[in-house]
Structure 1
Amino acid sequence: MRSSIVAGILALVSAFVIGPAAAEDAAQVQRNMEAFLKAEPDCDEFTDQCSICKVTDGQPVCSTPSIACIRKDYACTRKSGE
């Protein structure tokens, strides 16, 4: 009984510790994407090797990243007019 209570407390503490880190990672990904799109304004489709993104009405729309992926720098896979 006591070990299950300790395990529950550790799970809650982990969620609070990991949560802000995950939010920071998501914010960093968003900043990187915005910087990439500013540098590549004519890019219509791009990828970071985890998600495939398409610019629709000026906004990026991305697929859900795969579970076991390692993000790389964004690379344009299709430019406007191609």
Structure 2
Amino acid sequence: MNRSPEEYGAYWRASLFITAGALLAVGGYHFVGPLFRDPGLGTTLFGWLLFGLFLTVGCYFAVLGLARTIEVAGGR
């Protein structure tokens, strides 16, 4: 399987997107974890909102990286 330097670069960029997505999802949970432990309803809801945003952005980056990997592997 011979790949050009551009294709290898595309693989690396795609893997960075997947890694960034995973780090955003996991890091987001650790970032908002203290908000979940607070007894107030407002802070807990705000924590869930932030966690949902982190998870959504993280999944977006991971799927974008996966799509780029599949695109490069398919030869487009």
The answer to whether TM tops 0.5 is no
**TM bucket, shorter chain:** 0.3 to 0.5
More helix by share: 2
Name which one, 1 or 2, has greater alpha-carbon Rg: 1
